[in-house]
C-alpha cells in the first residue's frame, strides 16, 4: 500500500521568511496530493492541492510542486505570517472506482512562525 | 454550502455507555468518512461509505459501529469503549474521484 513520509517534523522560521515542507510517496499510481493545515483544536482544512498531470500550482503565498519521477511533492509558503503557525499534513490518494478515497496522510509538520 | 457538521462537539462517556456521533453534509458528496485523530498525529482512517454502502473498514474493533442512513448523514455508534479510544473523531465527505475531502469540526471523545 501507499506510504507517505514528511519532513521536517518541526520547522521554525522568522516572520517574512519562506517555509518548505517535503513529502515523498511510494505508490506511483497516486494521482492526487492535497495539503491540509490544522490549527490547534480545529479541523484539517485544505490549503492547496495538485494532480499528477500538473507540475506546479500557486495560490498567493502558497505553492505546491510535484516531481512524479522522484515521487515527491513540496509545499512552499512565502512571506510567512504568525497565523501560518499550525500543523501541516500532506496526503496522497489514487483512483479507486466507487470505493471512495483512501487518503494516506504524512505524519505532519509543526510550523512555528516567530514574530 | 461547503460545510460538514458534527455533533456533539464534546462527549464524555464511561466504558459501559452507548453513545452515537453524528455527521451531516449537504454538498451532494457520495463518499463519507470517519477518522480517528490522536494528539500530534495525522487523521487515521476508520471507515469509508460510498453510495451509502460501507466500502472500507480499516480493521476497526466492533465496539465502533458505523451507519449511513442516507446520502447526507453518517453516524458512528459507540459501545463498551476503552480509555485508549479517547481521541478527536473527524467526519469528512468528498466526491468519489480523487478530490478534496471536507472535514467536520470533530467530536472530542473522552472515555473514563
Q: Which residues of B touch A49 (CB under 8 A)?
A: 100
Average pLDDT along chain B: 93
Percent residues over pLDDT 70 in chain B:
98
What cell numbers appear for A33 in the block?
A: 496530493
Asked if the C-beta of A10 comes within 8 angstroms of chain B's C-beta atoms, the answer is: no
- Nearest alpha carbon to residue B78 among B6, B7, B16, B35: B16
CB count within 10 Å of CB B67 equals 15
Three-state DSSP state, A83: helix
Which residues is B54 bridged to in the sheet? Answer: B49
Encode pLDDT of A52-102 as tens digits: 998 999 999 999 999 999 999 999 999 999 999 999 999 999 887 656 778
pLDDT at B104: 97
pLDDT at B57: 83
Encode pLDDT of B63-72 as tens digits: 999 999 999 9
Cα–Cα dist B112/B103, whole Å: 26
Q: Which residues of B touch A95 (CB under 8 A)?
A: 97-98
Look at phi and psi of residue B52 and say left if phi exceeds 0, alpha if psi is from -120 to 50, else beta.
left
Nearest CB to A99 within list B40, B48, B105: B48
Are B94 and A107 a contacting pair at CB < 8 A?
A: no
Q: What is the DSSP letter of B85?
A: G
pLDDT at B99: 84
pLDDT at A98: 59
Structure confidence at residue B82 as a pLDDT band (50, 70, 90): very high
Cα–Cα dist B90/B92, whole Å: 7
pLDDT at A1: 82
Amino acid at each position: 500500500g501507499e506510504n507517505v513520509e514528511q519532513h521536517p517534523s518541526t520547522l521554525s522560521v522568522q516572520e517574512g521568511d519562506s517555509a518548505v515542507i517535503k513529502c515523498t510517496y511510494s505508490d506511483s499510481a497516486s494521482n492526487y496530493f492535497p495539503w491540509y493545515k490544522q490549527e490547534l483544536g480545529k479541523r484539517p482544512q485544505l490549503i492547496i492541492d495538485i494532480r499528477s498531470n500538473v507540475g506546479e500550482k500557486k495560490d498567493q503565498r502558497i505553492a505546491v510542486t510535484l516531481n512524479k519521477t522522484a515521487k515527491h511533492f513540496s509545499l512552499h509558503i512565502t512571506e510567512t505570517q504568525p497565523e501560518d503557525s499550525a500543523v501541516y499534513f500532506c496526503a496522497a490518494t489514487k483512483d479507486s472506482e466507487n470505493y471512495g478515497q483512501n487518503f494516506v496522510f504524512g505524519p505532519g509538520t509543526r510550523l512555528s512562525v516567530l514574530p | 454550502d461547503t460545510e460538514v457538521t458534527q455533533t456533539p462537539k464534546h462527549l464524555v462517556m464511561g466504558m459501559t455507555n452507548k453513545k452515537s456521533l453524528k455527521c451531516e453534509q449537504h454538498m451532494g458528496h457520495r463518499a463519507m468518512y470517519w477518522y480517528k485523530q490522536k494528539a500530534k498525529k495525522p487523521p487515521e482512517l476508520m471507515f469509508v461509505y460510498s453510495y451509502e454502502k460501507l466500502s472500507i473498514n480499516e480493521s476497526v474493533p466492533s465496539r465502533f459501529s458505523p451507519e449511513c442512513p442516507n446520502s447526507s448523514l453518517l453516524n458512528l455508534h459507540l459501545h463498551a469503549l476503552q480509555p485508549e479510544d479517547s481521541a478527536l473523531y473527524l467526519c469528512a465527505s468528498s466526491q468519489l474521484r480523487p478530490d478534496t475531502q471536507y472535514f467536520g469540526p470533530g467530536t472530542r471523545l473522552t472515555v473514563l
